[in-house]
Structure 1
Amino acid sequence: MVGVSDVSTFDRFARVYDLVMPGADATQLGRALERSERPVDRLLDLGGGTGRAARALDANQRIVLDAARGMLVRARDHGLATIQGDASRLPVAPASVDAVTIVDALHHVHGWDSLFEEVFRVLRPGGVLAISDFDPTTLLGRLLVTGEHLIGFESQFVSPQVLCDHLERVGFETIVVDDGFGYTVAGVVPKRENKSRSTQRE
């Protein structure tokens, strides 16, 4: 679940969020979604806020799930379908989506293993989870961690490799699509249980 203080802050920030935040990196997210072993027709953007990631990507059905009602109002203004809910208990049917994105939001979520188990449940075989976040082991990452905590966010950051370890424990096959301060990791739901679960690096 998302820290309570984080949700209230995003609710207050919703009106100006799109004015001060850059758009999602469609190139890196697109490279992550290319790892999907099925067409990406239905996409779920978790912690999607105003829908920055969903708007940057091409899918017939794009759904934004967020805990902050104010952010979802803005996402609907952009023509996106929305769900207000807890990412650790997704109100989505099993094997019902082709791709899930979590962009600049994972560090606001607590209880990652529950979250990743839920994402694994709702993705169809061959579907992909694309996560973009920030590496706290870099210089900029350390500054970001300090800044977020000064603001009052309950943020928790991890490196790409630690994130891959979490995903692989749930059953995803992982790929580090891009590393550095801002990184992107893709996790694919295997189509066959006997496929190996090794981390790849481009």
Structure 2
Amino acid sequence: MIPFNHLGWIFKYIGPLIYPHSIREALCSFLIPVSKSASVLDLGAGTGIMSEFAYACREDLQFTAVDPAEGMLKFSAEYIQTHKANAEALPFDAISFEAILIGEALHHFNDVDKSIQEMVRVLQKEGRLFIYDFDSSTFIGKCLCIAEKILGEPGNFFPPEVLKQKLESHGFSVHITHFGYRYTIAAQLEP
């Protein structure tokens, strides 16, 4: 298992370097319709890198980061409220967030279906979901999946079309954008 609790300092400094500019632009576009001062959940946040990228686009938003590794969360920016928790059991009331961000983290969730149920529970009506991850149907994506499993991680990588179907079965409308071996999903709960 990857010792994330002891790697926060590394992710804090190299994390921003490995996120492509195109992903940051996609995130900024995703945030345009989000209400002023809305609550945004960064799920599987690590050091809060997705919140930092989102903050660069929208300083008015209220950011909350969740991760099971306190050693990652302690490197989050001071404007991010942090909670140690798993995606499968979020410590929030129903309809608490207008948007959820997940950056390179979904494949670490132990139970993706239970995590999606929790996302639906804490999202407001017509809430939005942004996911950035690696495409396991590509050669590099398959290699990353194998490497993660060797390291003891769940390795729950999905081809984007499979994840789209999962999300649609939970009431989301989904738009996929491909970036080589990476992809983003911009989804919204249907009314």
TM-score, normalised with respect to structure 2: 0.87
1:38-49 paired onto structure 2 within 5 Å: 41-49=38-46
Aligned length: 183
Matched letter for residue 68 of structure 2: A
In structure 2, the residue matched to 1:183 is 183
Amino acid paired to 2:5: D
Residue of 20, 23, 30 corresponding to 2:14: 20
RMSD (CA atoms): 1.9
Counting only pairs closer than 5 Å after superposition, residues 1-202 of structure 1 correspond to structure 2 as: 5-6=1-2, 9-23=3-17, 24=19, 25-34=23-32, 41-57=38-54, 58=58, 59-75=60-76, 77-191=77-191
Check 1:177–1:39 CA distance in 2 against 1; reply closer, same or farther (3 A cut): farther
Paired residues of 2:44 and 2:67 also in contact (CA < 8 A): yes
CA contact 1:98–1:128 (8 Å) conserved in 2: yes
Paired residue type of 1:63? T
SS of 2:88 mapped into structure 1: coil
Cα distance in structure 2, aligned partners of 1:38 and 1:73: 28
Cα separation, 2, equivalents of 1:121 and 1:177: 25
Identity of aligned residues (%): 31
Instruction: Give secondary structure in 2 for the equivalent of 1:173.
Output: strand
Q: Distance in 1 between matches of 2:144 and 2:16?
A: 16
Paired residue type of 1:50: T
Cα separation, 2, equivalents of 1:19 and 1:33: 24
Stretches of structure 1 that go unaligned for 5 or more consecutive residues are 192-202
Shift of 1:146: 2.6
Scaled by the length of structure 1, what TM-score is found? 0.82
* Equivalence for 1:194: none
**Counterpart-to-counterpart distance in 1, 2:35 and 2:62:** 15
Give the conservation status (yes or no) of the 8 Å contact 2:36–2:61. no
Cα shift at 1:100: 0.2
| Shift in Å, 1:135 | 0.5
